[in-house]
Structure 1
Amino acid sequence: MNILLTGGTGLIGSYFIKKYSSQHTFTVTSRAPDKARRQLGGAVTVVKSVDEINNISAFDAVINLQGAGIADKRWSAQRKQRLQNSRWQVTEKLAEMITAADKKPLFVSGSAIGYYGPRDAEPVNEEGTPKQRDFAVELCQQWEQKALAASEQTRVVLLRTGVVLSAEGGALAKMILPYKMGLGGPLGNGTQMMSWIHIDDMVRAIEYILQHDTIQGPVNMTAPGPVTNKAFSRTLTSVLKRPHIFKVPAVVLKTAMGEMSSMLLEGQAVVPDKLRDHGFEFNYPTIRAALKDVT
């Protein structure tokens, strides 16, 4: 396939290109083209933005992963606007381009499990709706709606992504140092659910979606075994052979991170029913198997 990929220098996009560079041809958007070419290799075409794409009909698929890092900075009003704009604007633009095109590519667009809002431990599949509303819910709902504007013209798939586990960055890289030092432990009371996915299963699932045209709409990009934060923490310390005696009180996280702490103190037990119903098989279905591979 000839693929237009936004967010191609990020964790998921760069891993996808590395794994499938022999199967697909890639054009990637990046505000730093020279850096992107060094990172991704000379076979990848790099443009500064989607505004430089003159003929989107030339692509078989558009994979839209662009967006400022949700956990990179404290959620000030300015930061929230940046998180929204970096997702909504490019998604809206791509939907408009696809709708107006003569030959309309498949549109695979990013989202997140934040769509479901804070929930208890009851499993939630793609039919679930938010029980509470917060910033993440609004961010994801608008993000998805802008992508679905093209759904009457082409197949649209929404990637509701959980915590991506990788040895090369992402959430695990930000949390693992205290664990390696023997200081890791659960966050808050530890009962909040974590829905996660191994990076290799993440990109394999995207490729599976490209190849199976019966998959459309929201798809939960999570492993089939969500766990409590306490279970995640205990498993990580076990894999690293470190003690599990500390915990981080909720008040400390709230003081340090403000509203963004909700991402760590609240959760959802998201399950990938649509992927499994369509025959996708996970290489890393359990948290222990995933953590052993990436640590």
Structure 2
Amino acid sequence: MRIAITGSTGLIGTALVRSLRTDGHDVVRLVRRAPSAADEVRWDPGRQEIDTAGLAGCEAVVHLAGAGVGDHRWTAAYKQEIRDSRVLGTRTLATALAAMDTPPRVLVCGSAIGYYGDTGDRRTDESAPAGHGFLPEVCVAWEDAAKPAQDAGIRTVFARTGLVVARAGGAWGRLFPVFRLGLGGRLGDGSQYWSFISLEDHIAALRHLLDTGDLAGPVNLTAPEPVTNREVTAVMGKVLNRPTLFPVPAPVLRIALGEFAGDVLGSQRVIPRRLLDSGFTFRHPRIMEAVRAAAA
């Protein structure tokens, strides 16, 4: 199968390209510069431009591009970049795909469990409404931007992703060095739920979304049993054989992270109801297994 991917150099994109190519799929990577390889197609979401000729023959598209939520302090300018990188990119891609003579059969569009906002200790699945605040508003606009593809009859799936447990990048990639130094600890009081998924399960789940023809709309990509930050801290310490004696008080997080601290301290107990109902099997359903796989 010929598959186009945006965000192919990120943590998830790199792993997905490798997985698909290992199984013999033809992968086209959308890049924001002049193409330098035969497998690259240029697009410019800021200008809403894309070379659709290079997408001819693609049966599927996976859209993963977007500015990192935790990469910078949330200034007004960076919040706008977070939003624009998702909304403009998705709208550009969805509009272009809808206008193709032979559009792809499926668009898997990245999204996030930030859609639900702070859910406390309430188990939350895809039937829950959007929450309140910056990230939920971004996620709603992000998913709405794919409407041209949906209207054109392209099966569109929103992969609402949780915290990906990986050593090499993402939020968890920042935790590993701190814990290896013995400086890790709970964040705030540690009672907030973290909805995680191992990198391996995340890639397998994305491929499941591509291959499962009756899945459309939102699908949570999280492990079945979210855990508290306190539990995460204990598991990280045990797997890495390091003490976890340095909790980070909430006021310190707010000083260091600004507005983003509210999301770090927020609680999301999100359940992958539709993924499980569609027959997906997790290789690392528990946090201990996910952390051990990432640390190996």
What's the TM-score once normalised by structure 2's chain length?
0.93
Provide the rounded CA distance (Å) in 1 between the counterparts of 2:175 and 2:290: 15
Paired residue type of 2:77:
Q
SS in 2 for 1:63: strand
* Alignment match, 1:171: 171
* Alignment match, 2:63: 64
In 2, are the aligned partners of 1:111 and 1:159 still within 8 Å (CA)?
yes
* Alignment match, 1:201: 201
Provide the rounded CA distance (Å) in 2 between the counterparts of 1:151 and 1:19: 27
- TM-aligned CA deviation for residue 32 of structure 1: 4.9
Provide the rounded CA distance (Å) in 1 between the counterparts of 2:201 and 2:225: 13
* Alignment match, 2:28: 27
SS in 2 for 1:289: helix
CA deviations on 1:222-275 (whole Å, 9 max, x unpaired) are 111100111111111111111122210000010011001122100211111111
SS in 2 for 1:68: coil
In 2, are the aligned partners of 1:56 and 1:101 still within 8 Å (CA)?
no
Paired residue type of 1:254:
R
Q: 1:17-166 alignment to 2 at 5 Å? A: 17-21=17-21, 22-32=23-33, 45-49=39-43, 51-54=50-53, 56-105=55-104, 106-130=106-130, 132-152=131-151, 153-166=153-166
In 1, are the aligned partners of 2:52 and 2:100 still within 8 Å (CA)?
no
Q: Which moved more, 1:90-99 or 1:269-278?
A: 90-99
CA deviations on 1:35-92 (whole Å, 9 max, x unpaired) are xx7xxxx6x6112316122264521011110101111000101001111111111110
Provide the rounded CA distance (Å) in 1 between the counterparts of 2:68 and 2:158: 18
In 1, are the aligned partners of 2:41 and 2:54 still within 8 Å (CA)?
no
Paired residue type of 1:147:
A
Paired residue type of 1:64:
H
- TM-aligned CA deviation for residue 103 of structure 1: 2.0
Q: Which moved more, 1:147-156 or 1:194-203?
A: 147-156
Paired residue type of 2:186:
P
SS in 1 for 2:197: strand
* Alignment match, 1:217: 217
Q: 1:147–1:24: structure 2 CA closer, same or farther, 3 Å change rule?
A: same
Paired residue type of 1:5:
I
How many residue pairs were aligned? 287
In 2, are the aligned partners of 1:56 and 1:97 still within 8 Å (CA)?
no
Provide the rounded CA distance (Å) in 1 between the counterparts of 2:136 and 2:209: 24
- TM-aligned CA deviation for residue 177 of structure 1: 2.1
CA deviations on 1:172-222 (whole Å, 9 max, x unpaired) are 221222211212111001111100111111111111111110111000011
- TM-aligned CA deviation for residue 171 of structure 1: 1.4
Identity %: 37
* Alignment match, 2:239: 239
Gaps of 5+ in 2: 44-48
- TM-aligned CA deviation for residue 150 of structure 1: 2.0
Provide the rounded CA distance (Å) in 1 between the counterparts of 2:168 and 2:177: 14
Provide the rounded CA distance (Å) in 2 between the counterparts of 1:240 and 1:255: 28
* Alignment match, 1:285: 285
SS in 2 for 1:108: strand
- TM-aligned CA deviation for residue 33 of structure 1: 5.8
Provide the rounded CA distance (Å) in 2 between the counterparts of 1:202 and 1:148: 24
- TM-aligned CA deviation for residue 10 of structure 1: 0.7
SS in 2 for 1:197: strand
SS in 1 for 2:18: helix
Gaps of 5+ in 1: none
Provide the rounded CA distance (Å) in 1 between the counterparts of 2:257 and 2:167: 24
In 1, are the aligned partners of 2:192 and 2:268 still within 8 Å (CA)?
yes
Q: 1:32–1:95: structure 2 CA closer, same or farther, 3 Å change rule?
A: closer
- TM-aligned CA deviation for residue 155 of structure 1: 0.5
Q: 1:171–1:215: structure 2 CA closer, same or farther, 3 Å change rule?
A: same
- TM-aligned CA deviation for residue 27 of structure 1: 1.1
